[in-house]
Amino acid sequence: MSWKPVLPRLPILQWRHELDRQALVDDALAGVIVAVMIIPQSLAYALLAGLPAQAGLYASIVPLVLYALLGSSRVLAVGPVAVVSLMTAAAVGEFAQANTVHYAEVALALALLSGLMLTVMGLLRLGFIANFLSHPVISGFITASGLLIAASQLKTLLGVQAGGHNLPEMLAGVFAKWDQVHSLTVGVGLGTLVFLFAVRSQLKPALRALGLSPRAADLLSKLGPVAAIVVTTGAAAALDWHGQGLKTVGHIPQGLPPFTLPSWDLALWGELAMPALLISVVGFVESVSVGQTLAAKRRQRVDPDQELVALGAANLGAAFTGGFPVTGGFSRSVVNFDAGARTQLASLITAAGILLATLLLTPALFHLPQATLAATIVVAVLSLVDIPILGRTWRYSRPDFLALLVTLVLTLLQGVEVGLVAGVTVSLALYLWRTSQPHIAEVGLVPGTEHFRNVQRHQVLTAPQVVSLRVDESLYFANARAIEDRINEAVAREPALRHVVLQCSAINDIDASALESLEAIDERLKGAGLQLHLSEVKGPVMDRLQRSSLLQHLSGRVFLTQYQALQSLAPELTSVDINENRSHS
């Protein structure tokens, strides 16, 4: 239970030595490919977060550089990602109107807070906080987020105005405007959707059939969104779709990312603290799991504490350069890895590419239809939706299923924050509930061995004067009473009983409440003329018991093994057993 703060390191000092000519070429190629792929993605996620499109570009430059210098993963690519953008929209939307200056300031404050939290968690080695997001909660949350994001794009695909931060609100908002659907927008959106699904399912096999390598086919088919954007933007510009009511990205200022100051309103910070913490933890979990998966493929390691510091720096960078909360993204990192990136030099080249785009390319994005971006988002996030996990989890564990279901349903119905908090609460409560109802087995001797097994599962030997109970859980305050009840019951059932033996092989700790219960049990048994014995007490537990007065007052003894306990308390049983054993051999 001891920890020491970590000093931030500069992993770049390690990998710069690995940069030979081949690595330089590989990284440069991967960097360019990723830059091309994530420009549309960054624009789309900025709109999803309720921000102007350029915020997505800005959030992909300085944060990417800072992560490249500090991160322990060689291939992770940092920037706006779908789930964090959704959480940003939900959090900021409570304090400001979308597409206002104040909204952007609140988003910067959120990135700042998130950056500070991640950095502090990293320096103080508090990354274990993320462990309390259980796998079912994450699964439920990610699936619900995918559905929410897809639903949030409906209004853009249909060309209507609508809002809402949960599924019923979003659907109601869209259906209420059903008569205002803009057919040109629907045409562009649906066309892009169909195209993207076709690319995803058809292009790769087709390219393979043309003789391309699997990796090249895979990478090319991931450029589908770029192709869709080029085509629809060109068409919009040529046919003046903007003039016909189609919403486009519009004017994006040309130039370097601006230097921005987040809101310093401390009352606002207080209210943003909880969303910032959730965004930090979710972003960290997503980023580290991507990083670890990719690192394992090359037998590299990712250091979670260093990751916290690096992601913290990336978010601080976003806060001061017109961005919004960022984290390591799955799709961009996979593209980076598949394109052959060796080191974070690839990310530096990506950042340079995006910087070039903000300097030169932004006028060309004026006619980019928002419906096209919405379609790319829908296709991207549907891969987050994992419905079969419901069945798998149901089969494996009902409590885990409950945690998953609560998170999924509440995220859809009440929004991301309520869903996450409820999921964590339910999984902690279920864990406490389970450990408070420990499995307690009455055990007996397996004939011919020194092993003890559950009397209800095995043919074993027992003596009427001895009951041996094995508690399959550490003893602590929440289950101390259950053990008292179980022993009371055993004593009441068996009138010949003289000895109660607690086999402690699965007891990893006994806290002060459980100690008090053991003393009460011992006192009660003593009063009734019975003795309480312990067996197979683990070293650390015994060390601790010796600092209490239990062992001095204990009516019975402490046996090294359960077999020795039975030998001593019911010798006739073990001698019978040994005879049996001999006659067998």
Give the H or E element holding residue 223: none
Q: Does 125 bind a copy of itself (CB under 8 A)?
A: no
For residues 5 and 391, which CB has a smaller minimum distance to a copy of itself in the complex? 391
For residues 244 and 437, which CB has a smaller minimum distance to a copy of itself in the complex? 437
For residues 465 and 548, which CB has a smaller minimum distance to a copy of itself in the complex? 548
Q: Nearest approach, Cβ of 476 to a copy of itself (angstroms)?
A: 6
Residue 562, judged by CB atoms within 10 A of its CB (0-12, 13-18, 19+), counts as buried
Q: Nearest approach, Cβ of 528 to a copy of itself (angstroms)?
A: 6
Q: Does 547 bind a copy of itself (CB under 8 A)?
A: yes
Chosen residue from 172, 472, 571, 580 binding a copy of itself by CB under 8 A: 472
Which amino acid, residue 303?
A: D
Which residue spans within 412-552 are E strands per DSSP?
440-445, 452-454, 466-471, 499-503, 531-535
Question: What is the number of helices (H) and of strands (E) in the chain?
Answer: 27, 8
Q: List the one residue out of 506, 224, 571, 249 whose CA is nearest residue 376.
A: 224
Cα distance between residue 164 and residue 102, in whole Å: 19
Q: Nearest approach, Cβ of 507 to a copy of itself (angstroms)?
A: 8
- The site map against a copy of itself for 143-182 (x = CB under 8 A) is ----------------------------------------
Q: Nearest approach, Cβ of 405 to a copy of itself (angstroms)?
A: 12
Q: How many Cα atoms sit within 13 Å of 278 on the Cβ side?
A: 25
For residues 505 and 555, which CB has a smaller minimum distance to a copy of itself in the complex? 505
Q: Nearest approach, Cβ of 265 to a copy of itself (angstroms)?
A: 28
Q: Does 396 bind a copy of itself (CB under 8 A)?
A: yes
Buried/exposed code over 70-91 (b: 16+ C-beta within 10 A; e: otherwise): bbbbbbbbbbbbbbbbbbbbbb
For residues 457 and 584, which CB has a smaller minimum distance to a copy of itself in the complex? 457
Chosen residue from 438, 444, 468, 570 binding a copy of itself by CB under 8 A: 438
Q: What would the DSSP string read from start to end of 98-122?
A: TTSHHHHHHHHHHHHHHHHHHHHHH
For residues 357 and 482, which CB has a smaller minimum distance to a copy of itself in the complex? 482
Q: Which residues pair with 559 in a beta bridge?
A: 535
Q: Does 505 bind a copy of itself (CB under 8 A)?
A: yes
7: left (phi over 0), alpha (psi -120 to 50) or beta: beta
Cα distance between residue 50 and residue 72, in whole Å: 31
Q: Does 482 bind a copy of itself (CB under 8 A)?
A: yes
Q: Does 428 bind a copy of itself (CB under 8 A)?
A: yes
Cα distance between residue 468 and residue 445, in whole Å: 10
Q: Does 528 bind a copy of itself (CB under 8 A)?
A: yes
Chosen residue from 134, 347, 407, 574 binding a copy of itself by CB under 8 A: 134
Chosen residue from 128, 239, 253, 578 binding a copy of itself by CB under 8 A: 128
Chosen residue from 61, 158, 478, 497 binding a copy of itself by CB under 8 A: 478
In the structure encoding, which two tokens stand for residue 195, read together?
């195209």
Residue 128, judged by CB atoms within 10 A of its CB (0-12, 13-18, 19+), counts as exposed
For residues 270 and 527, which CB has a smaller minimum distance to a copy of itself in the complex? 527
Q: Does 551 bind a copy of itself (CB under 8 A)?
A: no
Give the H or E element holding residue 265: none
Output phi, psi for 393, to 5 deg: -70, -40
Chosen residue from 16, 102, 215, 439 binding a copy of itself by CB under 8 A: 439
Residue 129's contacts (CB-CB under 8 Å, 6 or more residues apart) are 121, 281
Angle, vertex CA 392, rays to CA 387 and CA 397, nearest 5: 125
Q: Nearest approach, Cβ of 404 to a copy of itself (angstroms)?
A: 8
Q: Does 513 bind a copy of itself (CB under 8 A)?
A: yes
Q: Does 511 bind a copy of itself (CB under 8 A)?
A: yes
Separation in Å, CA 150 to CA 45, 60, 447: 12, 23, 63
Residue ranges in 282-341 that form contacts with a copy of itself under rule CB under 8 A: 292, 296-297, 299, 301, 304
Chosen residue from 18, 20, 240, 523 binding a copy of itself by CB under 8 A: 523
For residues 105 and 303, which CB has a smaller minimum distance to a copy of itself in the complex? 303
Stretch that binds a copy of itself, among 67-75, 259-267, 408-416, 511-519 (CB under 8 A): 511-519
Q: Does 509 bind a copy of itself (CB under 8 A)?
A: yes
Residue ranges in 103-122 that form contacts with a copy of itself under rule CB under 8 A: none
Q: List the one residue out of 218, 167, 158, 215 whose CA is nearest residue 188.
A: 158
Helix, strand, coil percentages, rounded to 5, for the chain: 65, 5, 30
Residues at the site binding a copy of itself, with contacts judged by CB under 8 A:
1, 128, 130-137, 292, 296-297, 299, 301, 304, 392-393, 395-397, 399-400, 404, 427-428, 431-439, 454, 457, 472-474, 476-482, 488, 492, 505-506, 508-509, 511-513, 515-516, 520, 523-524, 527-528, 538-540, 544, 547-548
